[in-house]
Amino acid sequence: MKIAFVGKGGSGKTTLSSLFIRHLAAARIPVIAVDADINQHLGAALGLDEAEAAALPAMGAHLPLIKDYLRGGNPRIPSAGAMIKTTPPGDGSRLLRVGESNPVYDACARTVELDGAGVRLMATGPFTESDLGVACYHSKVGAVELCLNHLVDGREEYVVVDMTAGSDSFASGLFTRFDMTFLVAEPTRKGVAVYRQYKEYARDFGVALRVVGNKVQGPDDVAFLREEVGDDLLVTVGHSEWVRAMEKGRPARFAYLEQAARRALEALHDTADAAYGRRDWERYTRQMVHFHLKNAESWGNAKTGVDLAAQVDPAFVLSEGAAAPQPV
């Protein structure tokens, strides 16, 4: 299952995504956590100190390795240099599994222990001084998109992505890569404005979207959210002393999280699990190809000097029954 947490800056999406990751880990469900926000805070929310969070490898820095591994023996892709962030897999490509070991995870993932359960944490990496004025942040999240395009995951395997704030997610096809998108919204006009924008953009792509109301203080806040987002409102979350302690760097054991918050996380889990039954691998692959051809025409062909449309394998459909990855 691929799950995204989105919302405006300061809405609490990183906190909610970290709680959901902890919830899955407590249930001993395999999890890969990905920090794809321009402000890299997921590591700290999962308990890393400042030095440990800063030491996380940046996926963007390992993009040549990622490309070279994923292309495998695909005859349509002659070199890693001919790949872009939207390059789809085809016959001969190497595919990623959540629980396996491979060179991509070795280079880009670090294990974080959460109350005795380990989760893999990956991060796009923050803006560096050399990026300022010359680079777009979406080039960094391209590594995430490429990995998700080559990922085969099952029902009891989760990839949870803390996305960049606001509607920036729509600068690429990454927003279509998820079985469920949870939009975290505060009970304010600004909070629901991002929801409306996201809903409008996502409508034509069949994106499954539910709203998590955060920082809710009473019935009036709930009523406001219900009026603004309707049936898309899944659950609301209020103040948590456990979260406050976690944000101070002094989290208690996850088992001590308040019951109201635990029920909210169970609702998220049930909703995500139900989305698996609606998964459409053929549509997923078509959308992958759609954005690849769009990127190829707008900038990819000029950048690589090759016709990137030729990378599309018309007979290939990504699925759980896809061929096993080739040995390294």
Residue spans of beta strands (DSSP E) within the chain: 2-6, 31-35, 96-97, 109-114, 117-123, 151-152, 158-162, 180-185, 209-213, 233-236
What pLDDT shows up at residue 166?
63
Angle between helices 259-276 and 13-26 (to 10 degrees): 80
Counting as low any pLDDT under 70, the low residues of the chain are 126-140, 166-171, 323-328
In order of 99, 149, 228, 307, the CA distances from 90 in angstroms are: 22, 11, 43, 16
Q: What is the pTM of this model?
A: 0.93
* 181, amino acid identity: T
What pLDDT shows up at residue 326?
47
Per the CB < 8 A criterion, the answer to whether 21 and 200 are in contact is: no
CA distance 309 to 284: 18
The two tokens of residue 32 are 């890969």
CB within 8 Å of 55: residues ≥ 6 apart: none
Nearest to 86 by CA among 326, 314, 311, 322: 311
The two tokens of residue 33 are 């956590």
CA distance 287 to 285: 5
Per the CB < 8 A criterion, the answer to whether 288 and 173 are in contact is: yes
CA distance 323 to 118: 28
What pLDDT shows up at residue 324?
52
177-202: b (≥16 Cβ within 10 Å) or e: bbbbbbbbbbbeeebbebbeebbeeb
What pLDDT shows up at residue 135?
44
